[in-house]
Structure 1
């Protein structure tokens, strides 16, 4: 520290990793490099995250629609069935590092652990000066109350815990409390801002960044961002953030990370910290048809040479309606929307069985072992696994299912719960040039049939009634891979077919 001060440099020491953030001139850099105790000098570049609310990733059409009883993603992961058992996240604290949060939003205000009097231990701002290329930052720097200088953070937090009490039931765990850390300015972050937030979650401080208290740490945090290798996070410094994630997990905080939105590039597109790490619980994105989105990044992880299987699981991440600043709501798409579903799910599981708090390995295994099998819109094979083998490098163990998890940890609560059963659909002939016959194992009755192509576009949808066998003529649709989903109030069947 004395050497840095002698060169009139700025610095910030960390305890989550054995490192120091330093800003200074070339003479200071040379002096530090000559010290035997300095093992590595790594750059701290500005990193831009391509957020879903940007002009090149606009919300899907219909984003201004009104509230439902609860959002589709909540039903897809069966969170509503836990709500029926009065499990809504009470007593659990979730956290997030992002562009900040509009804490006074009607869907977030009542769940915020702080209040208008004190934000100590509930909020931290890791943005200490301009790092964005944008000249406008409505929040400023070193802000001592939660503020969102974009819209991304407020949206992700809404998916975790949001509920305004007026019908906007957007959050998975609406009775959990939340805390937050701003690690991005208008979508721009640095390795140092991300690590600073990881450290703050391990032992939150007051708004003067003093008096750290690990007893105030959240149970789980969502990280809907990435640190690209092309902008400074590379194999030479991956180990620094990796150590921060590992230490935070070892302290009892579950680290949920969105997998990324580079799936159109194909396999090995999960390549950025923090999604690449073993200690991160990485999450891909599915759509309303319970199929992997085309944008969800795929494994395995090759950027660090590990060939690690990723993601761990998938969750709803397309057309997800949630909160945005100024008390508004919008639907965004991205794995940024999927990760918060998992963080909220963790809150419900801890609510159901408090002994899971701090037991990160058990929580991760529970979510993985109870996930539903889901598929992609095309016949993917990444690494040595096809999409018919689980876990795989496309969807991991599958889409999380909270009801199945509840059956394991609280079987006393799952008796007589009305649940939606899933089964596979038999299609014959397959491939087919026209007429097909689909068969279910149980009678369907009145139901809806949806057929989508490999791009996720609905090519045919209709209501019908049948027992266990339905015939369809698909001669008019083009050649390619299609997903057929048949659903009623009690069950859902899904199958793939190839139109030749």
Structure 2
């Protein structure tokens, strides 16, 4: 049977090499029938995607390594294609966040590139609707000095009373743009110096260079313009999301982490974007550069990025964007950046409606939306991820996303509903966690584990495949509604390990398990001293000390109910943390 599959694979491979049209998006071929010149993305075969946590200690180390590795690889492998394009005076932009080149050319040049053996795909760079559209009428609301309901619901204001407001943390956003000068956001902008001075270098980038929204007449100019050297919002959406993350002034308490700073990139033109626009923003967020596009600096990257947008096939997003964007999200996470993503507003389609990038990716931290009484919002997309046959559990968690009041363009206050409003709550909590314990900066897996393990569990009557609504996690709420206070308290308990410790291999098997779980060290010099296991509420359910320098220890968890558990292993060289699945 394997031999048959191998023969089929080889035959298909030879067919693809013989027929370069098989590499090209059908939609791009259709566009060339009416347009002499088109935009597209050349995705190279030789790409780097960091699938595992790097054995580096700090966010600065991780970001610098990822940036240098990706950039060097792209420069080395793109040389020949770049040379061809320069010789033909073809307009192009080279990327390194994934190994790709955006090109604008005639059909003959595009076909020449498709025929190359080092080219994986030619992806259509046509605009599509990216905005995770809100599902409520936008109504102005009056100012109110009391914390918004979503802030109080997740106990973020209780965290403030402990002295943690997000200070020392940078939140990144990519959206429809941002009105940086509105009162709740102005002083939170990293480029703000004082009432008369501002520096947009490394703090703002505009990836919108021309009109992209086909629903708007060419005679109606973009209210912000293009290639902006200062933040501007052409839609309200971006400003509203940033307000939920950091916004606050004397009369409005709308942001989860009002002590944090923010930087941002515009990746949509009035709600429409293209693959190259989100690639530009992700690349800038990985290593921000100045207003002239020079001197990228990964040490200026944000700690967490909010993505309140969605690449839906129904709205024109091409399925070929999936591998393109998945590599990018993996690389941002490897660089120590938490990638928070709205789950989407297609809950009406029921189970499996989380099916668009970037929400469907394992590396994305996907967020569903709840209402005032903790019910899941009807529009909130459900898991699991079935489009790629992974049946991956999504969403990760849930946050308030109905009737969320925040600031919009020109300082007007509005209430929106959508998973777009839920994601910013989670990004804000990440900022609170890192401000409480700066050692968490860059520790993406640990931050995500804490958010999941401290979430308030909620069940549902809706079963989706093998993800039963009555179990935790489930395909409706994920692990539950986030709890900022519990997450920060757990964050304060985090003790970093050394680079050497991170390289120590501790194996846990079987995982998933039905009864026994065994922990073993591959290094004879590193012994297991203590193993603690917690349930999803953070309650200690098992605690054993093998004693001495044990290299192997087994624990019986047959008496525990099925679900997700979290372990913490103290070794002679440091502490390890992770998950156990009991089935």
Quote the residue 1:380 is aligned against.
462
State the aligned residue count. 405
Quote the residue 2:313 is aligned against.
229
- Cα deviation for residue 237 of structure 1 reads 3.6
Quote the residue 2:208 is aligned against.
127
Quote the residue 1:78 is aligned against.
155
TM-score normalised per structure 2:
0.68
Name the SS of the counterpart of 1:255 in structure 2: strand
- Cα deviation for residue 158 of structure 1 reads 0.2
CA contact (8 A) 2:432 2:488 kept: no
Quote the residue 1:298 is aligned against.
382
Name the SS of the counterpart of 2:285 in structure 1: helix
- Cα deviation for residue 10 of structure 1 reads 1.6
Matches within 5 A, 1:29-428: 29-50=110-131, 52=133, 57-59=136-138, 63-115=140-192, 116-133=197-214, 134=216, 135-164=220-249, 166-376=250-460, 379-410=461-492
- Cα deviation for residue 4 of structure 1 reads 1.9
- Cα deviation for residue 50 of structure 1 reads 4.7
For the residues of structure 2 that align with 1:193 and 1:306, how far apart are their CA atoms? 28
- Cα deviation for residue 52 of structure 1 reads 4.2
CA contact (8 A) 2:169 2:434 kept: yes
Structure 1 stretches of 4+ moved >4 Å: 50-53
Label 1:121 to 1:331 Cα distance change in 2 as closer, same or farther (>3 A).
same
For the residues of structure 1 that align with 2:426 and 2:342, how far apart are their CA atoms? 10
- Cα deviation for residue 117 of structure 1 reads 3.5
For the residues of structure 1 that align with 2:86 and 2:212, how far apart are their CA atoms? 23
| Aligned residue among 94, 113, 119 for 1:13 | 94
For the residues of structure 1 that align with 2:359 and 2:132, how far apart are their CA atoms? 16
Quote the residue 1:449 is aligned against.
none
Matches within 5 A, 1:470-489: none
- Cα deviation for residue 384 of structure 1 reads 1.0
Name the SS of the counterpart of 1:80 in structure 2: helix
- Cα deviation for residue 178 of structure 1 reads 0.2
For the residues of structure 1 that align with 2:175 and 2:268, how far apart are their CA atoms? 6
CA contact (8 A) 1:291 1:375 kept: no
For the residues of structure 2 that align with 1:22 and 1:356, how far apart are their CA atoms? 39
For the residues of structure 2 that align with 1:408 and 1:344, how far apart are their CA atoms? 16
CA contact (8 A) 1:383 1:393 kept: no
For the residues of structure 2 that align with 1:194 and 1:50, how far apart are their CA atoms? 12
- Cα deviation for residue 407 of structure 1 reads 2.8
CA contact (8 A) 2:133 2:345 kept: no
* TM-superposition CA deviations, 1:24-74 (whole Å, max 9, x none): 110111110112221211112211135546xx7423x6x513314100100
For the residues of structure 1 that align with 2:320 and 2:180, how far apart are their CA atoms? 37
CA contact (8 A) 2:275 2:321 kept: no
Quote the residue 1:461 is aligned against.
none
* TM-superposition CA deviations, 1:246-284 (whole Å, max 9, x none): 001000110000000000111111111000100000000
For the residues of structure 1 that align with 2:491 and 2:320, how far apart are their CA atoms? 42
Name the SS of the counterpart of 1:222 in structure 2: strand
CA contact (8 A) 1:292 1:374 kept: no
CA contact (8 A) 1:224 1:258 kept: yes
CA contact (8 A) 2:129 2:316 kept: no
Quote the residue 2:54 is aligned against.
none
For the residues of structure 1 that align with 2:133 and 2:414, how far apart are their CA atoms? 11
CA contact (8 A) 1:292 1:375 kept: no
CA contact (8 A) 2:458 2:472 kept: no
More helix by share: 2
CA contact (8 A) 2:384 2:467 kept: no
TM-score normalised per structure 1:
0.79
Q: Which runs of 5+ in 1 are unaligned?
A: 413-500
* TM-superposition CA deviations, 1:71-99 (whole Å, max 9, x none): 01001111011100111000000010000
Q: Does 1:28 align with 2:109?
A: yes
Name the SS of the counterpart of 2:119 in structure 1: coil
Quote the residue 1:488 is aligned against.
none
Name the SS of the counterpart of 1:160 in structure 2: helix
For the residues of structure 2 that align with 1:51 and 1:359, how far apart are their CA atoms? 28
Quote the residue 1:467 is aligned against.
none
CA contact (8 A) 1:103 1:112 kept: yes
CA contact (8 A) 1:183 1:189 kept: yes
* TM-superposition CA deviations, 1:270-318 (whole Å, max 9, x none): 1110001000000000011111100000011122222111000000000
Name the SS of the counterpart of 2:410 in structure 1: coil
Quote the residue 1:470 is aligned against.
none
Q: Which runs of 5+ in 2 are unaligned?
A: 1-81, 495-583
